A and B are shown apart, each in its own frame.
Chain A
Amino acid sequence: MTESAQSGKAIPVDAESSSTIPLETSILTGAVPLESILCTEELKRRPSRPPDHEKENRALVALVSALADSPSTIFQTLAETIQDITQCDSAGLSLLTRDGKTPNVDGKRFYWPAIAGMWNPHVGGGTPRNFGPCGDVLDQNRTLLFRHFERRYPYLLPVIPAAEECLLVPFYVAGKAVGTIWAIMHSDRRKFDAEDDRVMASLGKFASSAYQALVHIEDLKIQVAEREKAEAEVRELASGLEAKIRRLVEANVVGIVMWTLEGAIIHANEAFLHMLQYSRGDLATGRVRWTDLTPTEWRDRDERAIAELKATGIFQPLEKEYFRKDGSRVPVLLGGALFERSGKEGVAFVLDLSEQKRAERALRRSEAFLAESQHLSRIGSFSWRVATDEITWSEQLYRMCELEIGVPVTLELIRTRVHPEDVSLIEKMKMVHQASDGGNDFEWQYRLLMPNHSIKYMHAVAHAIRDQDGQLEYIAAVQDVTGRRLSEEALDKARLELARVARVMSLGALTASIAHEVNQPLSGIITNASTCLRMLDAEPPNMNGARETARRTIRDGHRASEVITRLRALFTKKDAAAELVDLNEATREVIALSLSELQGNRVILKTELADKLPVVKGDRVQLQQVILNLLRNASDAMKNINDRPKQLVIRTEPSEGNRVRVSVEDVGTGFEREQMNRLFEAFYTTKSDGMGIGLSVSRSIIENHHGSLCATSNEGPGSTFSFSLPCETAVASPNGIAAEKKLAARQD
């Protein structure tokens, strides 16, 4: 409560009211005990005035009449009646309320809706439920007579004139106390007695009835108000709907026609008439009937629509044709409903589908053109909707994959065609999508492995778009580039052949050079030998001459030998450097140099290079030539392998005897056991285009490095070529030093 209330000043409860009735709910203890202000028992002891039944009856009849005629003022009438019958100074009602005015049985305070007599100015005031005279009456559930109740409830002090005595009677609704009626004497000119008690009890019952009647009236008022509001809304809606329908009809956006089931057209808008080339005058003649407008082949559909109308009151939109006035046809979409479920009249909307049909024909033509273009250009199309994972192929793509047109496209189906070594387009799309969070364009090449084991080369260009719903979709054009690819391969092969021929030619030039160098001393040898023979055959033999020519023959023989020795030095690079070589590093360099060639052959290279591999001593370039040779041989051995991934493993590892091993393992064609011994012979080859000197030279180089080169057949497909070399610590060991000296001697 407010400060001013606590200080005992009167506070108006209702600003609109002139009341100054205080309500002090915070004062929960009275100045005096309740018993000291109650004198109810005195009612029985006091001399009682005789009952005036006639007056009482008149009053009750008047009250009932007032309730019927003017229920809104019944409480005021009741208050005046109480004052009249009890001859008190003030009389009134207190009603429990929650919000200060509306009666409520669970209210926390009382308010005074009507007061007659001296307290009349205080109408609208009231007292708290938990600390006041009315609350005491409800708590004790009986009539109470108070004397100077302001002594206990100080907030009543300002309410003037003060109450000498106050008789309070509870009244009930459905067994619950909902308020009190009361009579007050402001002076002692008269005391309440047992007759007052009885009359008040009687009026209390009326108060209860009046209360219920008023509540009921209030409910009725609410119901009426709600119904009126609903009716107003319906009226408004109906008028709005009608207006909308009228606007729809008059807007001529769609054809609207009203008809009878028998075939008559009652009304049609301009759009409908224009669609069918009729005038309003034509319609007025009554000769334009929808049954006649329908071509024969569409009448079945009309009959089905009528059956639907009779069963459900509406017919679902359907496509049909109408005759125009000039006899041409117009494709339409129409749907409609009966005005009443069991009636015979209804309304339909009619949409002219001419444009749509033209567009559909154009689209079909465009699709056919696209399909033919795709067929001719061997380009298929592919779409993937990211959100739904829906994959769509063009017919051409089905043809390219040699799959039945229209079978559902799944990842499993795609995998049956994509080469096992390759990543399919859809998988690539998903990778790109995940990596880039969508929206990136890209190109992709992959192969198809067909059921007859033939290979097709595909080149796809994918483009990310968003559809009308904002959903991401990838569209790809997939071209069969097998022909181009085969041409490129043929070109590559021709280039390689050219390179081989060039090599052979340079080898021929080398051979010629060698022949020249050797033939010169050979020529001398033969000529000298011939001369020598002639000198010996002479008579007498020219011994000195023969000796001289024989000496020259020997000299030229040495010369020829020197030529051969020089050539060997040239081939084996006898001036090889002896440096520390990290075979891992050397291998990586070779891989870097050969990577494009390996990739071109679609070789899957796997490297297993040992950590902390000991170094070896030798000629780095020569050793790299060996590794390169082994890599190329392995790649060549897998050239024609198509049924398995072309896996090539290059491995470095420490091996027994303080050595380091480099192995190259392939899954190629391998070699037969009987070929094993010949593999390292010069000019022996298993390749169609090989010279047969690579492995021979390789072995020569490795043996020069005190190593060994060997070949083994794999348990699975392919073979493994490996060489091992003593590592640097071994070279530095006593035996190694000897070996090193031997190497040095050879190099000299």
Chain B
Amino acid sequence: MEGRQLISVIDDDESVRESLPDLLKECGFDAQAFSSAEEFLASDQISETKCLILDVAMPGLSGPDLQRKLTQRRQKIPIIFITAHRDETVRPRLIEQGAVECLFKPFSETDLLTALNSALRVI
């Protein structure tokens, strides 16, 4: 899939890892799923990734932990956080720390694509 931008999805929930990459591919993106932040960090996809769709709460490194690590590594990957905890106080905090968007599960395709457009414009 040459020319397609790689979107990496990191979520400990399997249904997200299965469904979201498929939707992204249907929307014209290349997509790769990881079950944890550690798995993503250990992969060779970091530099290829144009946008990171990142679960907030995960076993091991959390989404914001990974965000901090990437910042420390000076790897500027736009991040869209996704979370099943509808905590309105989390969203502004994450955006303040550099996230493009924070989507509450379940989110619509439109909201996802809007956020992706924003993220990819950042690049």
Given A523-B105, A523-B107, A527-B16, are A516 and B84 also a contact pair (CB < 8 Å)?
yes
A269 within 8 A of B: no
Once bound together, how far apart are the Cα atoms of A512 and B26, in whole Å?
32
The one of B15, B87, B109 that contacts A521, using a Cβ cutoff of 8 Å? B15
A-B contacts, 5 listed (Cβ < 8 Å): A521-B15, A531-B19, A531-B22, A538-B26, A545-B26
Q: Are B26 and A520 in contact (CB under 8 A)?
A: no
Please indicate the chain B residues that have their CB under 8 angstroms from the CB of A545 in the complex.
Answer: 22, 26
Q: Are B15 and A556 in contact (CB under 8 A)?
A: yes
Once bound together, how far apart are the Cα atoms of A512 and B86, in whole Å?
7
A534 within 8 A of B: yes
Q: Are A524 and B16 in contact (CB under 8 A)?
A: yes
Chain B residues within 8 Å of chain A by Cβ, number: 21
- Chain A residues packing against B (C-beta within 8 Å): 512, 515-517, 519-528, 530-531, 534-535, 538, 545, 549, 552, 555-556, 559
B21-46 CB contact bits vs A (8 Å, 1 = yes)?
A: 01100110000000000000000000
Residues of B90-118 contacting chain A, CB below 8 A: 104-109
B85 within 8 A of A: yes
The one of A512, A552, A559 that contacts B85, using a Cβ cutoff of 8 Å? A512
Q: Are A527 and B23 in contact (CB under 8 A)?
A: yes
Q: Are A526 and B108 in contact (CB under 8 A)?
A: yes
Q: Are A515 and B19 in contact (CB under 8 A)?
A: no
What distance in Å separates the Cβ of B9 from its nearest Cβ neighbour in chain A? 10
Residues of B61-84 contacting chain A, CB below 8 A: 82, 84
What distance in Å separates the Cβ of B105 from its nearest Cβ neighbour in chain A? 4
Q: Apart from A520-B16, A528-B18, list 20 A-B contacts with CB within 8 A.
A: A515-B84, A517-B84, A519-B104, A519-B106, A520-B13, A520-B84, A523-B16, A523-B19, A523-B106, A524-B15, A524-B106, A525-B106, A526-B106, A526-B109, A528-B15, A530-B23, A531-B22, A531-B23, A534-B23, A552-B18
B51 within 8 A of A: no
What distance in Å separates the Cβ of A420 from its nearest Cβ neighbour in chain B? 53
Please indicate the chain A residues that have their CB under 8 angstroms from the CB of B107 in the complex.
Answer: 523, 526
The one of A519, A538, A549 that contacts B84, using a Cβ cutoff of 8 Å? A519
Given A520-B15, A523-B107, A525-B106, are A515 and B86 also a contact pair (CB < 8 Å)?
yes
Q: Are B84 and A523 in contact (CB under 8 A)?
A: yes
B20 within 8 A of A: yes
Please indicate the chain B residues that have their CB under 8 angstroms from the CB of A527 in the complex.
Answer: 16, 19-20, 22-23, 106, 109
Once bound together, how far apart are the Cα atoms of A525 and B27, in whole Å?
17
Name the CB-closest residue of B to A521: B15
What distance in Å separates the Cβ of A550 from its nearest Cβ neighbour in chain B? 11
Please indicate the chain A residues that have their CB under 8 angstroms from the CB of B27 in the complex.
Answer: 534
What distance in Å separates the Cβ of B4 from its nearest Cβ neighbour in chain A? 15
Q: Are B108 and A515 in contact (CB under 8 A)?
A: no
The one of A522, A531, A556 that contacts B26, using a Cβ cutoff of 8 Å? A531
Q: Are B109 and A530 in contact (CB under 8 A)?
A: yes
Q: Are B22 and A520 in contact (CB under 8 A)?
A: no
Number of A-B contacts (CB under 8 A): 77
Once bound together, how far apart are the Cα atoms of A511 and B101, in whole Å?
24
Q: Are A552 and B19 in contact (CB under 8 A)?
A: yes
Once bound together, how far apart are the Cα atoms of A552 and B18, in whole Å?
9
Once bound together, how far apart are the Cα atoms of A538 and B23, in whole Å?
13
Please indicate the chain B residues that have their CB under 8 angstroms from the CB of A549 in the complex.
Answer: 19, 22
Please indicate the chain A residues that have their CB under 8 angstroms from the CB of B18 in the complex.
Answer: 524, 528, 552
Please indicate the chain A residues that have their CB under 8 angstroms from the CB of B19 in the complex.
Answer: 523-524, 527-528, 531, 549, 552, 556
Once bound together, how far apart are the Cα atoms of A552 and B109, in whole Å?
17
Q: Are B109 and A522 in contact (CB under 8 A)?
A: no
- Select the residue from A520, A528, A555, A556 with max chain B CB neighbours within 10 A: A520
Name the CB-closest residue of B to A522: B106
Please indicate the chain A residues that have their CB under 8 angstroms from the CB of B84 in the complex.
Answer: 515-517, 519-520, 523
What distance in Å separates the Cβ of B1 from its nearest Cβ neighbour in chain A? 15
What distance in Å separates the Cβ of A145 from its nearest Cβ neighbour in chain B? 156
Please indicate the chain B residues that have their CB under 8 angstroms from the CB of A515 in the complex.
Answer: 84-86
Q: Are B23 and A522 in contact (CB under 8 A)?
A: no
What distance in Å separates the Cβ of B70 from its nearest Cβ neighbour in chain A? 24
The one of B23, B87, B106, B109 that contacts A512, using a Cβ cutoff of 8 Å? B87
The 6 closest A-B pairs by CB, nearest first: A524-B15, A523-B105, A519-B84, A527-B19, A523-B106, A534-B26
What distance in Å separates the Cβ of A516 from its nearest Cβ neighbour in chain B? 4
Name the CB-closest residue of A to B15: A524
What distance in Å separates the Cβ of A735 from its nearest Cβ neighbour in chain B? 46
Please indicate the chain A residues that have their CB under 8 angstroms from the CB of B104 in the complex.
Answer: 519
What distance in Å separates the Cβ of B63 from its nearest Cβ neighbour in chain A? 14
Once bound together, how far apart are the Cα atoms of A516 and B83, in whole Å?
8
Once bound together, how far apart are the Cα atoms of A284 and B50, in whole Å?
136
Please indicate the chain A residues that have their CB under 8 angstroms from the CB of B22 in the complex.
Answer: 527-528, 531, 545, 549
What distance in Å separates the Cβ of A700 from its nearest Cβ neighbour in chain B? 28
Please indicate the chain B residues that have their CB under 8 angstroms from the CB of A512 in the complex.
Answer: 85-87
Name the CB-closest residue of B to A542: B26
Given A512-B87, A515-B85, are A559 and B109 also a contact pair (CB < 8 Å)?
no
What distance in Å separates the Cβ of A183 from its nearest Cβ neighbour in chain B? 155
Once bound together, how far apart are the Cα atoms of A516 and B82, in whole Å?
12
Once bound together, how far apart are the Cα atoms of A545 and B84, in whole Å?
26
Q: Are A520 and B105 in contact (CB under 8 A)?
A: yes
The one of B20, B23, B105, B109 that contacts A519, using a Cβ cutoff of 8 Å? B105
Name the CB-closest residue of A to B25: A531
- Select the residue from A522, A531, A555 with max chain B CB neighbours within 10 A: A531
Once bound together, how far apart are the Cα atoms of A340 and B84, in whole Å?
120
Name the CB-closest residue of B to A537: B26
Please indicate the chain B residues that have their CB under 8 angstroms from the CB of A522 in the complex.
Answer: 105-106
What distance in Å separates the Cβ of B22 from its nearest Cβ neighbour in chain A? 5
Once bound together, how far apart are the Cα atoms of A559 and B20, in whole Å?
17
What distance in Å separates the Cβ of B104 from its nearest Cβ neighbour in chain A? 7
Name the CB-closest residue of B to A513: B85
Once bound together, how far apart are the Cα atoms of A517 and B87, in whole Å?
14
What distance in Å separates the Cβ of A1 from its nearest Cβ neighbour in chain B? 133
Please indicate the chain B residues that have their CB under 8 angstroms from the CB of A526 in the complex.
Answer: 106-109
What distance in Å separates the Cβ of A650 from its nearest Cβ neighbour in chain B? 43
Please indicate the chain B residues that have their CB under 8 angstroms from the CB of A555 in the complex.
Answer: 15
Please indicate the chain B residues that have their CB under 8 angstroms from the CB of A516 in the complex.
Answer: 84-85
Once bound together, how far apart are the Cα atoms of A406 and B20, in whole Å?
90
Once bound together, how far apart are the Cα atoms of A515 and B88, in whole Å?
14
Given A512-B85, A512-B86, A525-B106, are A535 and B26 also a contact pair (CB < 8 Å)?
yes
- Select the residue from B27, B106, B107, B109 with max chain A CB neighbours within 10 A: B106
Name the CB-closest residue of A to B23: A531
What distance in Å separates the Cβ of A517 from its nearest Cβ neighbour in chain B? 8
The one of B15, B26, B85, B87 that contacts A523, using a Cβ cutoff of 8 Å? B15
Once bound together, how far apart are the Cα atoms of A520 and B107, in whole Å?
10
Name the CB-closest residue of B to A515: B86
What distance in Å separates the Cβ of B62 from its nearest Cβ neighbour in chain A? 14
Once bound together, how far apart are the Cα atoms of A549 and B109, in whole Å?
15
Once bound together, how far apart are the Cα atoms of A549 and B26, in whole Å?
12
Once bound together, how far apart are the Cα atoms of A174 and B25, in whole Å?
166
Once bound together, how far apart are the Cα atoms of A525 and B13, in whole Å?
13
Name the CB-closest residue of A to B82: A523
What distance in Å separates the Cβ of A556 from its nearest Cβ neighbour in chain B? 5
What distance in Å separates the Cβ of B73 from its nearest Cβ neighbour in chain A? 29
Once bound together, how far apart are the Cα atoms of A216 and B106, in whole Å?
145
